[in-house]
Structure 1
Amino acid sequence: MDLLLETDVPLAAMNTFGVAARAARLVRVHSQLDVRQLVDHPEFGIAPKLILGGGSNLLLTGDPRQLVVKVEIQGLRVVRDDPDATIIEAGAGVSWHELVRWSLAQGHAGLENLALIPGTVGAAPVQNIGAYGLELAERFHALDAVDLTTGRVVTLDATACRFGYRDSLFKHELAGKSVITQVRLRLPKPWVPRIGYADLERHFAKLGVAAPDAQQIFDAVCAIRRSKLPDPAVLGNAGSFFKNPVVNRTIRNEILEDFPEIVSYPLEDGSYKLAAAWMIEACGWKGRELGRAAVDARHALVLVNRGGASGKEIKALAEAVQQAVRQKFGITLEFEPLVV
């Protein structure tokens, strides 16, 4: 089937910030074959491309000049179910939360801590999504991707993807150079609950539940996220806008001397993760507005579109927060979303 080119396409419904922008040209891909046809196309193949999944990790500051490639590849299946693990596969265009919900419904636990994270399956490895004590990298098995230069299909394991904190190969060497088409996840057996995260501990202590099952953890994560984070369908946002900075012991101790209340978490390699939300709040930005954009009143890591904000307004707010934290703490916060 020939690829269908759409022109002058409104993108407000395709990014969770709800920013108004228009794609001069947009192509939807529904299979790996579609992506390979895109590469071979005499016109589309050589055009610069913006890969778009659920738009949950994207800030559009204007109308994209690139050919927008909307990834809508579907499919959910169990690839293998062995005594030691279950391997499940999802198309890159599947909603991430739908994958988590589906896997539990099929009796395959292991992704419940990652419930209600917005976006698509194909975007999850790019960001190495994580929440409530679990990162995607810990459940990742492999992915298939199409090279946008050669059209060659490649399969990458976790080592090849070079996962880091909210980071992967797809944010560096492969940024904009490949399209992820399928992702496979490995859910180990026997299932072991992850409830060491403080919010989950408090939640289950309040309920008097000492050994929750996977469905209870799923429900708890959904409830906690809904209580803390605004719904993008109601108030445009991209979840956490800033990464929690990771610093060495020396820098952490220097900051502690001036700010003993700062929240930090030791990591296995001896470094420390600093709570960006705490620093933003300490700078007085939690709940503050700048034009039609604001720092969310419930969670300082979240920037929101109060209605009609442009991508440039949201970026200006992000930069103002960034500058305030840099001046107070000497730390430059990194953006999580891709700014285009």
Structure 2
Amino acid sequence: MSLLCWEEDVNLRQYNTFNVDSIARYLVRIRSTNDLKDLLASPQFRDLRYLVIGGGSNILFAEATFDGVILKNEIYGIEVVSESENNAVLRVGGGVEWMSLVTYCIDHDLSGLENLSLIPGTVGAAPIQNIGAYGAEISDVTLSVEVCNLETGEIRTMSKDECALKYRDSIFKHALKNVFISSVTIRVSKAQFHCLNTQYSSVQDVLQQQGVTTPTIRSVSGAICLLRRRKLPDPKILGNAGSFFKNATCDASLCKTTMKAHPKIPLFPGPDGFYIIPAAWLIEDCGWKGRQIGKAGVSATHALVLVNYGGAQGREILLLADSIIKDVQTKLGFQLIPEVNIIR
């Protein structure tokens, strides 16, 4: 007999960092792979739309109701699988809060995640988005991902290559949307064998201001936490999902045309001969930074962050995003793509 609890008519406000109201028909908490087996054996599940969530930090519920079942990933635990002189391999439950994993690594003198400090969300969601910040991505340390196919019930371990981790992208956004990530296995370095990544001038500036002449993983993490707190509003105070849009890209020929039309536009070399244009610059140049429409708006401190000033519906935030996309396309010729998963 299944021990799963099917919670009914659940307001998802506390399960999404935008803090928008949306009533789910059911919510089920998954705490082990056995729970997944029970779930898939349930006749009730087969006829329902479903959505897997972790910390709800990359989701916008655009409708007032979700007529289906929310699967809340609550598989916890951090296990040391193996250890050598230079590194350690960790298997981490998909429901573990991301910053808890970063803190664990720092407390155990393990390097590789410090540049990803204070990114909201859970470990299970990290490879879906291939989270990254300050010159690092989870793909840098990922070895494998354990998934359960919610259509067939098959549980298997996928290699890093099979996950197709790219810039804010993975196979889990495309061909494998129907999986539940139960754990992620990573390889992190012993701190004394790791080369710290402090290439960003903003990180260097903070370290210098703090009088840090010999950075450590803890001081780098602290500097990045400070930078993120300065730029990004706390979702507990002001609902948001962090960066709402991906950075734009252009090839070499479009880059030349763009520079002629907009000489001040910042361009950075990207992969495969493409150039990256910061979406925040595009949005700010079009006059959206700090702008508020009704109960939704664009953060005054970071143009990439859309915020809920209190009581905004998901549809209001989506309309704001659509308005920004159209305006940037019209004025600057670039198509912004949402990074946030929009649930309609």
TM over 0.5: yes
Range that drifts further, 144-153 or 81-90? 81-90
Alpha-carbon deviations, 1:28-80, whole Å to 9, x = none? Answer: 11011111221121221342211111110000011112211111111112111
Could you tell me how far 1:158 is from its partner in structure 2? 1.1
Distance of 2:172 and 2:68 partners within structure 1: 18
Letter in 2 for 1:163: L
Distance of 1:122 and 1:242 partners within structure 2: 21
**Aligned: 1:255 with 2:258:** yes
Alpha-carbon deviations, 1:140-198, whole Å to 9, x = none? Answer: 111101111111111111100001110000000111x1100001111135211010022
Letter in 1 for 2:163: C
**Aligned: 1:277 with 2:280:** yes
**Aligned: 1:339 with 2:342:** yes
Letter in 2 for 1:54: G
Distance of 2:323 and 2:182 partners within structure 1: 37
Distance of 1:336 and 1:102 partners within structure 2: 27
**Aligned: 1:21 with 2:26:** no
Match of 2:268 in 1: 265
Match of 1:31 in 2: 32
Alpha-carbon deviations, 1:279-331, whole Å to 9, x = none? Answer: 10000000001111000000000000000000000000001111111011111
Distance of 2:98 and 2:82 partners within structure 1: 20
User: What's the RMSD between the two structures over aligned residues?
Assistant: 1.2
**Aligned: 1:296 with 2:299:** yes
| Identity of matched residues, % | 42
Alpha-carbon deviations, 1:219-270, whole Å to 9, x = none? Answer: 1111110011100010000000000012111112211111111112102422
1:250 is paired with a residue whose SS is helix
Is the Cα–Cα contact under 8 Å of residues 40 and 151 in structure 1 kept in the other structure?
no
Distance of 1:34 and 1:77 partners within structure 2: 20
Choose from 112, 115, 118 the match for 2:114.
112
1:34 is paired with a residue whose SS is helix
Match of 2:196 in 1: 193
Could you tell me how far 1:273 is from its partner in structure 2? 0.8
How do 1:38-77 residues align onto structure 2 when only pairs under 5 Å count?
38-62=39-63, 63-77=65-79
1:43 is paired with a residue whose SS is helix
**Aligned: 1:217 with 2:220:** yes
Is the Cα–Cα contact under 8 Å of residues 110 and 189 in structure 2 kept in the other structure?
no
1:39 is paired with a residue whose SS is helix
2:67 is paired with a residue whose SS is coil
Structure 2 residue runs of 5 or longer lacking an equivalent are none
Letter in 2 for 1:41: S
Letter in 2 for 1:192: C
* Structure 1 residues 293 and 44: CA distance shift in structure 2, 3 A: same
2:195 is paired with a residue whose SS is coil
Structure 1 residue runs of 5 or longer lacking an equivalent are none
Is the Cα–Cα contact under 8 Å of residues 94 and 121 in structure 1 kept in the other structure?
yes
Is the Cα–Cα contact under 8 Å of residues 48 and 66 in structure 1 kept in the other structure?
yes
Q: How many aligned positions are there? A: 339
Distance of 1:263 and 1:45 partners within structure 2: 49
Distance of 2:152 and 2:41 partners within structure 1: 9
**Aligned: 1:136 with 2:138:** yes
How do 1:140-155 residues align onto structure 2 when only pairs under 5 Å count?
140-155=142-157
Could you tell me how far 1:27 is from its partner in structure 2? 0.9
Distance of 1:301 and 1:80 partners within structure 2: 40
Distance of 2:168 and 2:226 partners within structure 1: 23
Could you tell me how far 1:104 is from its partner in structure 2? 1.0
Distance of 2:331 and 2:208 partners within structure 1: 36
TM-score when normalising by structure 1:
0.97
Choose from 122, 126, 139 the match for 1:124.
126
Distance of 1:166 and 1:146 partners within structure 2: 22
Distance of 2:248 and 2:40 partners within structure 1: 37
